[in-house]
Amino acid sequence: MKHVFIIGSKGIPANYGGFETFVDKLTKGQKSKEIKYHVSCLSNNEKEFEYNGARCFNVKVPNIGPAKAVYYDIAALKRSIKYIKMNNIKNSIVYILACRIGPFVGHYKKKLRKLNGTLIINPDGHEWKRAKWNRYIRAYWKISEKYMVKHADLLICDSKNIEKYIQQNYKQYNPNTTFIAYGADIQKSKLSDDYNSLIQWYKEKKVNKKEYYLVVGRFVPENNYEIMITEFMKSKTNKDFVLITNVKRNKFYEELRKNTHFEKDKRIKFVGTVYDQELLKKIRENAYGYFHGHEVGGTNPSLLEALATTDLNILLNVGFNKEVGEDGALYFTKESGNLANLIDKLDTMNETKIKALGFKAKNRVRKEYTWNYIIDQYEDLLVNGLSCYENVSITC
């Protein structure tokens, strides 16, 4: 039996979040009887419970601001090592999602090694590039990433571009890496076009089927909202630009409003969030096109969901996005006028061409990014493929 301790997600059951959805799907879709998952969950108590066949253990964390996530990961790691020792578990696997605890991980790696355990890291994306962090936190993230790579027995990258980055930037540690992507749901929405909640949503937001471009994502600068809004406002399209995002009237919002004056363009519609996943899927399916301006991170969940549902996908031309979209999407740059001109051309694009792009996009997801495929890869690695990585000696 392989005991796998997953640390770094907020836990399961998952209602939102990339890592949370990943852990939920991984445990719910488990096929192998040779794996027992142990999942840390952020909570206000220390209870244990079972979900999707996994042993879930709550970790109580004080509200200490940005350091809360670091505290949580360390506390979960300590709890996992204690459990491994008390239960005399042989060949345990600790899988840490994201690089938050690099300065501390070497200490716990030594404890884990004494118990014959293996440390796996998912490096996630370039967290140190995110604009929401000040320069001190960014510096911490970069240092933390360095030490997580140094002490990992194996790094599972959900993007080939991230794997390449790890190999090139940390070659002094001779990192062991492998690529397993994030997954996507490829089923069509269960809702019909005359579903009451859908009709009500369209009426409330004043939009119509196939008469809007869509974006879904976190409201952060590195997702390039300013470029997409500015270029959309330059375009001549009569369609709307619907932004499903958790807008907060913070410094970023005020700067965006000041720089773009989007409130003067009735086509720009910030519509808040949509937590009903079937409704969100139907809104994606009915969009004329989908914009994706993300440039920080690996395989982005919202991009996979778009490729699986929307026919016309327009992505920022960066390695992360091209790796996923390939020839099933169109691409824009940050050059002034580039996206605006593309939007004007898309308004008159032949429906046959749009459907052809949609077919390629869905086929891409169906071949490489289904949860069933991702789960198979993980289980094969965890059960059969770790022998060449376990207890790799690392020069400290």
pLDDT tens, residue by residue, 339-382:
999 999 999 999 999 999 999 999 999 999 999 999 999 999 99
2-183+371-384 placed in CATH 3.40.50.200: no
DSSP state of 184: B
Q: Give the tens place of pLDDT for each residue, 124-183.
A: 866 656 666 678 888 888 899 999 999 999 999 999 989 999 999 999 999 999 999 999
Note whether 368 and 179 are within 8 A (CB).
no
Q: Provide the pLDDT for residue 218.
A: 86
Note whether 298 and 273 are within 8 A (CB).
no
Note whether 121 and 19 are within 8 A (CB).
no
Q: Provide the pLDDT for residue 392.
A: 45
Note whether 312 and 290 are within 8 A (CB).
yes
Which secondary structure element, helix H or strand E, spans residue 204, and what is its range? helix 196-205
Low pLDDT (below 50) residues in the chain: 391-396
Give the residue range(s) of CATH 3.40.50.2000 domains in the chain: 2-183+371-384, 196-368
In whole angstroms, what is the distance from residue 110 CA to residue 101 CA? 15
Residue reference for tokens 């510096």: 139
As a dihedral over the C-alpha atoms of residue 291, residue 293, residue 298, residue 304, rounded to 10 degrees, the angle is -10
- Which residues on neighbouring strands pair with residue 40, listed in sequence order? 57
Please tell me the CATH superfamily of domain 196-368, with its number.
Glycogen Phosphorylase B; (3.40.50.2000)
pTM assigned to the model: 0.89
C-alpha distances (whole Å) from 156 to each of 25, 95, 107, 128, 181 are 17, 9, 21, 19, 9
